[in-house]
Amino acid sequence: ILESLPEWVSGPLRSGRAWKVLLRCWVASLVSFVILLPDASLRTIGVTGFFALLTSLLLPPYLPVQLTLFLLLTLLTGLLSGWGIGIGAMRAANAVRDQALVQEAGQQIRARCVFRLPFLPEADIYHMHAIFQADPSLAQSTAVFSGWFLDVRSTAVYGAFLGVGAFIFGLMRAYAPKLIFMSIFGTIALDVFCAVGPLFPSKRYTLLNSMVISVGCYMATVVVTTICIFPETMSHAAMDTVAAQLARVAQLIEMQDAVFAARPEDLTRQGPLIIRFKALRARIIAVQQQLMATSGFLALEFTYGRWSGVDVRGLEEPMVTLITRVGCLLNFDRLAGSSRLPTSSDPGDDAKDVESRTHDTHLLRQIHTRNAACEAAHALRPDDVLPVLDAATKELRSASGAALAAVRGTVELVNTTRWRRDRARDTACTTALDATTAHLHAAIDAFNDA
């Protein structure tokens, strides 16, 4: 069943690390949901307690400890930044609010305690009158959320602060992608403050208390689950990614056997082999970009092992060089699969049909025709060259695959024996690395001398 699924689905299903991360994220989301059930915790969190569950979906604890703490810090900074801009908007809006309108609305509330609410039928208004007389604070709250204190000037101030704040957080999201959670939660806090703030006639700087408390509960949950449930350092995650990248690069080299065995007609852009090659290369590049985006934090964390964070980051440049060179093999595949251009002498084709398919002039078609004739005369067609290239590079490709496997084994050994030493495995990896290195150098020399 797994073989029939896409690689991005079957890969995590086979990975033990992916199941550990899934368990950690599932526990964090479950805790965020459970804290909403007891009445006591719900009263403490407030009406926006669902933000804990929402945040668990936006930022699950799937990253190493240090990177998770950094993202939580950016999240909290963005939330407080949006709150601060909202407080500034409320202070400025209250300074320009029409106090005569506020006093008039307050007098009407004290005098009548009757509201024409759009969601109430006419018969229930008199019943609400008695309730408001018994509880004046309820009358005040109902008047606030019915828009009795809305003011044009104060609302315009809120709109101006909302536009400026959204612009700032938008710039942050565009030019500092690492601070994306700071931008998202800063925008959320500012939106809530500027949407609800115009309704209140006086200062209410604690509008976001409930949201901050709920997000704080989730942050505490993330810290506990990240540290207690299969904790992982950035160094360990980076080396695990490097080992997986080496396996994918070796797979690209192995695919060259199928390329040399295929016909040139099978190596077109729409061919299944080229599509597989392009998909695998795109995934390698995407994973490497993600690894490079977080490699700057490797030297800042506390970890124990044979290699330090600086040593692990030193693998970045050789990996980029290796991926670039192996990825260029696709260019050869596409050149080998370039279909022969038709000529005007082909049976069943007239000159107009040929021109519509090739979009070339008669002179260029003649050049291609003579070039194809010369290739056939000197045995330089793709059908003739591919077997020669296969025989010439077979030993080099085999040595490259063996060397990549040995390097991958060494990286996995260093990554999995941080707290203990396996001398037998260490000796075997060292021997294999030395042997494959010597074999690779010999294959390169033989290829250059051939």
Taking CA atoms, 283 is separated from 62, 66, 288, in Å, by 19, 25, 8
Domain boundary among 195, 212, 228: 228
Spatial CA neighbour of 194 closest among 143, 239, 154: 154
| Helix 316-327 with 272-294: angle, nearest 10 deg | 160
Question: Based on the domain organization, do 224 and 242 belong to the same domain?
Answer: no
Q: How many CB atoms within 10 Å of residue 435?
A: 13
Question: Based on the domain organization, do 305 and 442 belong to the same domain?
Answer: yes
Q: Total structural domains in the chain?
A: 2
Domain boundary among 202, 228, 254: 228
Question: Based on the domain organization, do 215 and 262 belong to the same domain?
Answer: no
45 in a structural domain: yes
> What is the model's pLDDT at position 379?
64
Question: Based on the domain organization, do 238 and 182 belong to the same domain?
Answer: no
Question: Based on the domain organization, do 91 and 52 belong to the same domain?
Answer: yes
Question: Based on the domain organization, do 269 and 245 belong to the same domain?
Answer: yes
Question: Based on the domain organization, do 240 and 205 belong to the same domain?
Answer: no
Question: Based on the domain organization, do 259 and 401 belong to the same domain?
Answer: yes
Question: Based on the domain organization, do 213 and 65 belong to the same domain?
Answer: yes
> What is the model's pLDDT at position 129?
55
> What is the model's pLDDT at position 422?
80
Question: Based on the domain organization, do 277 and 317 belong to the same domain?
Answer: yes
143 in a structural domain: no
323 in a structural domain: yes
Taking a C-beta distance cutoff of 8 angstroms, is the pair 254, 401 a contact? Answer: yes
What's at 324, amino acid-wise? T
Question: Based on the domain organization, do 244 and 217 belong to the same domain?
Answer: no
> What is the model's pLDDT at position 271?
76
Question: Based on the domain organization, do 188 and 257 belong to the same domain?
Answer: no
Long-range contacts of 91-98 (CB under 8 A, 24+ apart): 91/203, 92/157, 92/161, 93/153, 93/154, 93/155, 93/157, 93/158, 93/197, 93/198, 94/154, 94/202, 94/203, 96/153, 96/154, 96/157, 97/151, 97/153, 97/154, 97/201, 98/151, 98/153, 98/154
> What is the model's pLDDT at position 343?
44
- Range(s) of the domain holding residue 155: 21-98+151-228
> What is the model's pLDDT at position 107?
66
Domain boundary among 177, 206, 228: 228
How far is residue 243's CA from residue 105's CA, in Å, rounded to a whole number? Answer: 69
pLDDT by 10s per residue, the chain, length 450: 767 777 778 878 888 888 999 999 999 999 999 998 888 888 888 888 888 999 999 999 998 888 899 999 999 999 999 999 999 999 998 888 877 776 776 666 665 555 555 545 554 444 455 555 555 666 666 666 776 677 888 889 999 999 999 999 999 999 988 899 999 999 999 999 898 888 888 788 888 998 999 999 999 999 999 999 998 888 888 999 999 999 999 999 998 888 888 776 777 777 788 888 888 888 999 999 989 988 888 877 777 888 888 889 999 999 999 999 888 877 766 666 554 444 444 444 444 444 444 455 677 777 777 777 777 776 667 677 778 888 888 999 999 999 999 999 999 999 888 888 888 888 999 999 999 999 999 999 998 887
How far is residue 306's CA from residue 414's CA, in Å, rounded to a whole number? Answer: 6
Helices (H), 229-342: 234-261, 272-294, 309-313, 316-327, 329-336
> What is the model's pLDDT at position 360?
56
> What is the model's pLDDT at position 272?
80
**DSSP secondary-structure letter at 148?**
T
5 in a structural domain: no
> What is the model's pLDDT at position 354?
46
pTM value is 0.73
